Amino acid sequence: MVARRSAHHHPRYAPKRARVGSYRSPLRYRHQHPLFLDPHLLPCRVESRGLVPSAVPAVVEPEGPRRRVDHRIPLLRVGSGSRARALARGAKIPDVRFVDHPFPSGWGREPQERTALGYLATVNLYLAAFNMIPGFPLDGGRVLRSAIWGISGDRTRATTIAARGGQVVAVAFGAFVFYEVIVLHDASGVWFGLIAYFLWNAASSSLQQERIASVVGGAKVGPLMTTDFKSTPPGVMVGQVIRDLVLPMNLRAIPVVSGDRLIGLVAIGDLRKVDQSRWVETLVEQVMTPASELPTVSPDDPLGTALERFSSTELPLLPVIKDGRLVGILYRESVIGYLRMQEMLRAESRR
């Protein structure tokens, strides 16, 4: 848009430079987020923002028990974005470059430069207004959650209200698109439907994550892990593992150990890669996944950590390691069963 408008008002001006500049703007904005966060607060995790046309990750708030610190971090994050955007519009940190060197002190006096920056400033204002809509996970929703969290001290309630706000905003956008297309016969705002779709999914995901976090509470991996499990040494043939463990016990993944040290894990998918005619001549260690490539947990890890590890793999279990030794196995079914039981108990207690 910036390129087309600049070319319209200034035909001699190269649209390619405006396009490059307009894409550098959000990239630089994302890069500047960490520069303005308070380094003395808790370490932050990294989140990929799907609504931003940039692959640069954005720093977001950690979720932890230290409420008096945690509930301020989203506010600082939003503040960091505003400060970065404000500085980007000034001459101190050039936000858009049309040349291969930083702006000189008199940059912005040419008509084409003022035109491009004028449209970029308008886009930034619209973006800021959109981000401050009080619906999670937009910045406005994070501010709303922070305020409720700071006042009530209840993160679950704050997240629920903010996420519901995000769903309301998504429904409003969807209704606007429906009205515009069906009643006005105008499809120019269909992209609002995409925004509504992403907002609804993000808000629903936040609600689901918060519900699971509230159910998990302070549970640890240790009480849920199984210490009585089957394993196999690395020198065993694939055929023997299938005959003695997989078929009679219906095991879908088996730890490969040497003494009490985890060497790897052999799963059904690994065994399927071996032709049946080669079962008697193929060692387990030849088809297993090495321990260095496996997600693991320790008995003292929070159950939430195990849930994060499970979300990154399709394995039915996680090896539990302590002091370099395999001390247990945490099955996905055990975690799901625990969560369901906790939900049932919470539902009964609310009656």
User: What is the extent of the structural domain holding 291?
Assistant: 222-346
- The whole-number pLDDT of residue 47 equals 45
Count: domains in the chain? 2
- The whole-number pLDDT of residue 23 equals 52
pLDDT in tens, the chain (351 residues): 444 444 454 444 445 555 555 555 555 555 555 554 444 444 444 444 444 433 333 334 445 444 443 444 444 444 444 444 444 444 333 444 434 444 445 555 667 767 777 777 888 888 888 888 888 878 888 888 888 888 888 888 888 888 898 899 999 989 989 888 888 888 877 888 888 898 899 888 888 888 877 778 788 999 999 999 999 999 999 999 999 999 999 999 999 999 889 999 999 999 999 999 999 999 999 999 999 999 999 999 999 889 889 988 999 999 999 999 999 999 999 999 998 888 888 776 666
Residue 137 falls within a domain, yes or no? no
End-to-end alpha carbon distance in the chain: 56
- The whole-number pLDDT of residue 209 equals 81
Residue 193 falls within a domain, yes or no? no
Q: Which residues of 157-196 are buried (b: 16+ CB within 10 A; e: fewer)?
A: ebbbbbbbbbbbbbeebbeebeebeeeeeeeeeeebbebb
- The whole-number pLDDT of residue 215 equals 79
Question: Is 243 found in the same domain as 124?
Answer: no
Residue 114 falls within a domain, yes or no? yes
Residue 191 falls within a domain, yes or no? no
The β-bridge partners of 122 are: none
Question: Is 342 found in the same domain as 226?
Answer: yes
Give φ, ψ of 187 to 5 degrees: -100, 15
Question: Is 118 found in the same domain as 238?
Answer: no
Residue 165 falls within a domain, yes or no? no
Residue 144 falls within a domain, yes or no? no
- The whole-number pLDDT of residue 271 equals 93
- The whole-number pLDDT of residue 291 equals 93
Residue 312 falls within a domain, yes or no? yes
Residue 151 falls within a domain, yes or no? no
Residue 84's contacts (CB-CB under 8 Å, 6 or more residues apart) are 28, 29, 32, 33, 35, 36
Report the alpha-carbon distance of residue 20 to residue 1 in Å, rounded.
12
Residue 95's contacts (CB-CB under 8 Å, 6 or more residues apart) are 24, 25, 28, 29, 88, 89, 120
Question: Is 123 found in the same domain as 227?
Answer: no
Helical H runs in the chain? 2-9, 15-32, 67-70, 73-89, 111-131, 139-152, 155-178, 191-216, 238-241, 247-249, 268-272, 284-287, 303-311, 332-350
- The whole-number pLDDT of residue 123 equals 81
**137 prior amide bond cis, ω within 30:** yes
Of 107, 131, 155, the one marking the end of a domain is: 131
Give φ, ψ of 250 to 5 degrees: 55, 45
Do the beta carbons of residue 29 and residue 49 sit within 8 Å? no
Rg value, the chain, Cα: 27
Of 104, 131, 158, the one marking the end of a domain is: 131
Of 115, 131, 147, the one marking the end of a domain is: 131
User: Could you tell me the CATH number of the domain that includes residue 292?
Assistant: 3.10.580.10
